[in-house]
């Protein structure tokens, strides 16, 4: 479990991003973290990962303060940044140097990921393309089997086949005691993966809800023409028609359009946000 208690973060004395944020993330979940540039996504996950420190308040990961960066904390969390800066080692040498820091690292598991991506252990990391570096690091992260896995824009640099492999790898490596946070602008890449959604804007949580809860409360659809404002919570014009969000009064289950929901919360937050609790009790996620 990850808990942020009265979390505040300032870039400087006059530039505050988060103030008094309380947030609880539960094990057994894959969280999708969405927000515009500057909304605070990277700052939030870096504070969770112990790469930045709260100005005031606490960030606790399984009862340990992330800012202290204790050994028991570091061996059970893995953070993949958007930009990969890797040492001048071969893949094999990288394993020999860094795998011992993670007690649950599974070499056989990692080798299977390298095979899936077609990357030889003899390759120099710095000779790899940006996408290949991402693949190598994603595979290593999953093979550490840490209880917390944080991925910042993991699908950037991946081609279409590799994105499919990535989704399958996440599904295969997911466990009930694992907590995964995926921060991304590529919302279509998260559709099949996430169990819960967090949307940030200007350092505030606009939405924190389980995917199933969202679909219980809302209907997502598309109309050939604009609908009356009284019939929908939000709609926008697109080349395909008028995608819309409405209250789910019939128990119908539709497809979650995360991009539409994101736009709706930014435009019509007063109508949508009160429908969801800030820190919901979310049941354990079971991947199909």
DSSP string, 122-142: TSBGGGS-HHHHHHHHHHHHH
pLDDT of residue 100: 98
User: How many C-beta atoms lie closer than 10 Å to residue 276's C-beta?
Assistant: 18
pLDDT of residue 277: 62
Is 232 inside any structural domain? yes
Residues in the chain, pLDDT under 50:
288
Do residue 229 and residue 104 come from a single domain? no
Do residue 129 and residue 236 come from a single domain? no
Do residue 187 and residue 112 come from a single domain? yes
pLDDT of residue 280: 57
pLDDT of residue 279: 57
What's the domain range around 259?
A: 211-277
pLDDT of residue 287: 52
d(CA 164, CA 232): 34
The rounded Cα 20 to chain-centroid distance in angstroms is 22
pLDDT of residue 288: 47
pLDDT of residue 286: 55
Q: What is the number of domains present in the chain?
A: 2
Do residue 60 and residue 109 come from a single domain? yes
Do residue 189 and residue 221 come from a single domain? no
């Amino acid at each position: 479990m990850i808990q942020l208690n009265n979390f505040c973060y300032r870039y400087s004395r006059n530039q505050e991003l988060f103030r008094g944020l309380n947030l609880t993330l539960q094990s057994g979940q894959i969280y999708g973290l969405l927000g515009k540039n500057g909304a605070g996504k990277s700052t939030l996950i870096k504070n969770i990962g112990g790469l930045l420190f709260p100005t005031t308040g606490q960030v606790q990961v399984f009862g340990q303060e992330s800012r202290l960066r204790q050994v028991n904390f570091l061996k059970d969390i893995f953070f993949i940044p958007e930009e990969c800066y890797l040492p001048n080692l071969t893949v094999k040498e990288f394993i020999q140097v860094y795998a011992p820091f993670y007690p649950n690292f599974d070499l056989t598991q990692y080798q299977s990921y390298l095979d899936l991506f077609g990357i030889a252990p003899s390759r120099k990391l710095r000779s790899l393309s940006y996408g290949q570096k991402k693949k190598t690091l994603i595979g290593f992260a999953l093979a550490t089997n840490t209880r917390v896995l944080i991925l910042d824009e993991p699908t950037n640099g991946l081609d279409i086949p590799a994105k499919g492999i990535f989704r399958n790898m996440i599904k295969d490596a997911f466990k009930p005691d694992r907590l995964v946070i995926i921060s991304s602008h590529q919302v279509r890449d998260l559709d099949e993966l996430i169990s819960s959604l967090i949307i940030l804007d200007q350092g505030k949580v606009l939405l924190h809800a389980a995917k199933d809860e969202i679909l219980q409360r809302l209907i997502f659809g598309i109309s050939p023409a604009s609908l009356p404002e009284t019939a929908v919570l939000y709609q926008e014009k697109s080349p395909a028609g008028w995608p819309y969000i409405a209250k789910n009064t019939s128990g119908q289950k539709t497809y979650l359009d995360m991009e539409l929901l994101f736009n709706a919360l930014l435009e019509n937050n007063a109508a949508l946000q009160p429908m969801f609790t800030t820190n919901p009790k979310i049941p354990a996620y079971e991947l199909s």
